[in-house]
Amino acid sequence: MVTDTISDMLTRIRNANMVKHQIVQIPETKMSLAIAKILREEGFIEDFESYTENTRKYLLLSLKYTGKSRKPVICKIERVSKPGLRVYANSKKLPKILDNLGIAIISTSKGVMTNLKAKELGVGGEVLCYIW
């Protein structure tokens, strides 16, 4: 039983990237689905699909690599807000990752979105993770 599903998802992606796996299997939750959609929109993963196995739902993420040496597109993925220490940012102090080359995923009252989208809408929220 995993208590922090977001950390579990990020760790599975990080581990699969290190050994250059093409796909990674993640238990499906509403939050993991929202994060997977953002990763696909921002170009960090190829695609994802949902499937059911023995009444459990899973996501299959296709990881993205570049060049002949298969360098991962996701260089670093880091959890910010944890169950023991939540990290929040208001709309005026949203994090800026590598001068907007990376993204921060933020859970707002209007849904899960990137820091750039949250800045556009003028909302703040819980900073879930940084990706670059």
Q: What is the pLDDT of residues 76-125, one digit of tens each?
A: 999 999 999 999 999 999 999 999 899 999 999 999 999 999 999 999 99
Nearest to 73 by CA among 20, 30, 26: 20
43 Rama class: left (phi>0) / alpha (psi -120 to 50) / beta? left
Locate the domains of the chain by residue range. 5-131
pLDDT at res. 14: 97
If you average pLDDT over every residue of the chain, what do you get? 96
**What value does the CA radius of gyration of the chain take, rounded to a whole number of Å?**
15
Residue 95 contacts residue 104 (beta carbons within 8 Å): yes
6-22 burial code (b ≥16 CB/10 A, e <16): bebbbebbbebbeeeee
* pLDDT of 35 above 90: yes
CATH entry 3.30.1490.10 includes domain 5-131 = yes
* pLDDT of 75 above 90: yes
pLDDT at res. 2: 80
